A = this chain, B = another copy of it.
Amino acid sequence: MSERAEEKMTKIVEPSVLAGFQEFLPGDQIVFTGMMDTIRRSFESFGFIPLDTPVLEKAEVLLAKSGGETGKQIYRFEKGDTDMAMRFDLTVPLARYVALHYGELVFPFRRYHIGKVYRGERPQKGRFREFYQCDIDIIGSETLSLINEAEIVSVINSTFEALDIGRFTIRINNRKLLGGYFASLGIDDPTGTLRIVDKLDKIGAEKVRAELAEAGLTETQADGVLKLTGLRGTTEELVSELERMTASIPEPLFALGVQELKQVCENIAFFGVPADRFAIDLKIARGLDYYTGTVYETFLNDYPELGSVCSGGRYDDLASNYTKQKLPGVGISIGLSRLFYQLNAAGIIRSDGRATPSRILFIPVGDTLEYTLGLASEARRLGVPCETYLGGGKPGKKFAYADRLGIPFAAVIGGDEMSEGCLTVKNMRTGEQKKYPSVAEFINESCEGND
């Protein structure tokens, strides 16, 4: 071996992925892709328009809100003279898109966007630096009717019904209600207070009280905050209680929030969402300070420890950093990568062993290649993904291939099948073999097609 050849052979770089970055083996990838397709179909069934924006944006545009200051989590770099950054959510690019293309869009603008976003967080279980978000938003020009806030609940409901990952509850609150209530208590930093209240589920009332005190709230103020956020009851009971409270709370914002919450709940029922799928929860607030009305969180009833799996809310001005045009909207986001990780870890979803789209493995035996390939084409024409084993080797190796990939049927095509113009199919699960006069007859009997 020449020195040069030897040198070439030793130049092997250990293959690995960046810490905090995720990729799947085929079985998991197929489940993940299936969930993404389900979400997409659900969003499209409500007329949300697909949108796709660049992963990279000008840093000054992407970071307009923070005045160009780089958050530590942002992937930001220069190339040539250009200061650029990778998107950290799909909302800022949406704001930029709507501001840029305002004149060419039809309002209300209903869009969905399923895409990767980037945050250089400290890597930890279930937190990724590259992850998928699945967002929908409805953006109005100047105004957007309150009823859209109820429709969003029906989209969450349909989407999680279609995902089929168990019972769930969409919890609803209203930021005006919270803001008005806090103002009535003389709390002058409602946003900061909301951020603390937001932790109620995670850290409990005791610690929230301590944090509220630390933030400068009096005991009376903290009592008031915990009284409201501790209210329990059915939707009707809570609406009644809140309406009663408006008598003693002079802040008009509180009354407005109560009225919005009441109307949204009534409309949700109009949209056909079952009553046990949504609930008023006065302690949810969403940390982000741009929400101005209804806020949503979605919990899996049997796995509350997963936290909210779909969150969002109403905002009054989407794109104030990019345009003077007032663009109120309402939207939600599903953090799919995290959700998938959690569902997988909790055993709620599991790969069924299927590691390929193929439903049939055609195995030519002897001089039957052309005939076999014709059968495979016919299966495809009928909408059934399939493949033909094109390598050599013993039959056992070929069946093992089907088995390891979870292909449910193997069609062994020998000279007899070819001369008779038929096919013999083995059910890989039961081991049963059966002869069929045509691919169509086999598919009608055994395959559910390309689902």
Q: Which residues of A contact B (CB under 8 A)?
A: 9, 11-19, 21-26, 29-30, 32-33, 41, 44-58, 60-61, 64, 67, 75, 77-80, 82, 84, 96-97, 99-101, 104-106, 108, 110-111, 116, 118, 120, 130, 140, 143-145, 147-148, 151, 154, 158, 270-272, 319-324, 355-358, 369-370, 373-374, 377, 380, 385-388, 390-392, 401, 404-405, 407, 450
A323 to B12, CA, bound (A): 6
| CB pair A130 B55 closer than 8 Å | yes
**Residue of chain B at shortest CB distance from A377:** B272
What is the total number of copies of this protein in its complex?
2
Q: Quick one: which of B33, B46, B270, B355 contacts A380, CB cutoff 8 A?
A: B46
Question: Which residues from B are CB-within-8-Å of A50?
Answer: 26, 29-30, 33, 357
| CB pair A25 B104 closer than 8 Å | yes
- Return 30 A-B CB contacts under 8 Å, by A number: A16-B100, A17-B54, A17-B57, A21-B54, A23-B53, A24-B52, A29-B50, A29-B51, A29-B52, A32-B52, A33-B50, A46-B380, A46-B385, A46-B386, A46-B387, A47-B358, A48-B357, A49-B357, A55-B55, A75-B77, A77-B77, A79-B120, A80-B120, A106-B355, A110-B387, A140-B391, A147-B390, A148-B390, A271-B373, A272-B373
A105 to B58, CA, bound (A): 39
Question: Which residues from B are CB-within-8-Å of A390?
Answer: 108, 145, 147-148, 151
| CB pair B15 A323 closer than 8 Å | yes
| CB pair A79 B84 closer than 8 Å | no
Known pairs A79-B75, A373-B270; A322 contacts B106 (CB<8 A): no
A300 to B260, CA, bound (A): 57
Known pairs A56-B130, A106-B405, A130-B56; A145 contacts B392 (CB<8 A): yes
| CB pair B15 A99 closer than 8 Å | yes
Known pairs A15-B99, A54-B17; A47 contacts B385 (CB<8 A): yes
Instruction: Give the distance to chain B from A4, nearest Cβ to Cβ, in Å.
Output: 14
**Residue of chain B at shortest CB distance from A359:** B47
Q: Quick one: which of B22, B25, B61 contacts A13, CB cutoff 8 A?
A: B61
| CB pair B450 A54 closer than 8 Å | no
Known pairs A23-B52, A26-B105, A116-B55; A45 contacts B15 (CB<8 A): no
Question: Which residues from B are CB-within-8-Å of A49?
Answer: 26, 29-30, 355-357
Q: Quick one: which of B15, B47, B130, B147 contacts A61, CB cutoff 8 A?
A: B15
**Residue of chain B at shortest CB distance from A24:** B52
A15 to B93, CA, bound (A): 10
**Residue of chain B at shortest CB distance from A361:** B47
